[in-house]
């Protein structure tokens, strides 16, 4: 989605009508997701607000290749919630000290979200068959069932296929310049 698009410019300008629409259409979905996962509506509001800030920083720096802003916003919220859910102590206060740490926290997530984008992009570059078998593997489906569902002759054959697909995916990720930039230490 090019940053020159008027919609993006409105977002970067903090256009009240646009923010209102996002709160009306996307926020209810985020709230449902967070509540479904054991969070509160207030936590969903924090997630939504922080996701908008992360998107703001992303959009002012790079052209995001996304099909739907609303869907991408939901995905960012979902990932941010998943991250929050793994953290034991959530930062909720509003004093200056926590604001600084909150920014670092958002910066960390910004890097992770960029990695997530890269990983998704590379997965889509694999063959349809590889995407299907890996989808089952990442769902932790047993190899026996993968073998049966996808019609492989044996579990060993299915494992070999997974190995080849994962190796290809690993190479695609490693060969991308963004991976080196975003790599963990």
Question: Taking CB under 8 A as the criterion, which residues in 49-88 touch other proteins?
Answer: 49, 52-53, 56-57, 60-61, 67-68, 70-71, 74-75, 79, 82-83, 85-87
Quote the tokens at residue 156.
Answer: 């060993």
* DSSP output for 44-57: HHHHHHHHHHHHHH
How does 31-70 read in b/e, with b if 16+ C-beta sit within 10 Å? bebbeeeebeeebbebbbebbbebbeebbeeeeeeeeebe
Q: Binding residue for other proteins (CB under 8 A) from 5, 107, 154, 157?
A: 107
x/- string (CB under 8 A) for other proteins, residues 111-150? xx--xx--xx--xxx------x-xxx-xxxx---xx--xx
Q: Is 185 in the site for other proteins (CB under 8 A)?
A: yes
Residues 6-25 touching other proteins, rule: CB under 8 A, are 12, 14, 16, 19-20, 23
Q: Can you tell me which residue has the tokens 């020159």?
A: 4
Least distance from other proteins to the Cβ atom of residue 80, Å: 9
Does 108 contact other proteins by CB under 8 A? Answer: yes
Six-digit token string for 129: 């068959």
Shortest approach of other proteins to residue 92 CB, angstroms? 14
Counting residues that bind other proteins (by CB under 8 A) gives 71
Query: Among candidates 139, 50, 27, 38, which has minimal Cα distance to 86?
Result: 38
Min. distance of Cβ 27 from other proteins in angstroms?
A: 10
Q: Is-contact 23 14, C-beta < 8 A? A: no
d(CA 112, CA 154): 37
Using the 8-state DSSP alphabet, how is residue 140 labeled?
T
**In angstroms, what is the minimal distance from the CB of 64 to other proteins?**
14
Which of 3, 64, 91, 159: binder of other proteins (CB under 8 A)?
159
Using rule CB under 8 A, residue 183 touches other proteins: yes
């Amino acid at each position: 989605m090019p940053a020159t698009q008027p919609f993006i410019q409105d977002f970067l300008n903090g256009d009240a009508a646009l923010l209102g629409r996002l709160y009306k259409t996307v926020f209810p979905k985020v709230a449902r997701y967070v509540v479904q996962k054991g969070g509160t509506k207030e936590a969903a509001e924090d997630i939504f607000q922080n996701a908008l800030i992360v998107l703001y920083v992303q959009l002012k720096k790079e052209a995001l290749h996304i099909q739907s802003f609303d869907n991408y916003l939901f995905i960012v919220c979902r990932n941010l919630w998943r991250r929050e859910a793994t953290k034991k102590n959530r930062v909720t206060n509003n004093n200056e000290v926590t604001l600084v740490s909150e920014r670092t926290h958002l910066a960390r997530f910004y890097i992770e979200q960029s990695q997530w984008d890269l990983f998704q992009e590379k997965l889509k570059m694999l063959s349809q068959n590889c995407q299907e078998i890996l989808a089952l593997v990442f769902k932790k489906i047993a190899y026996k069932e993968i073998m049966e569902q996808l019609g492989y002759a044996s579990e060993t054959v299915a494992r070999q296929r997974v190995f080849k697909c994962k190796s290809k995916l690993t190479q695609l990720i490693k060969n991308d310049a963004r991976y080196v930039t975003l790599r963990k230490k």
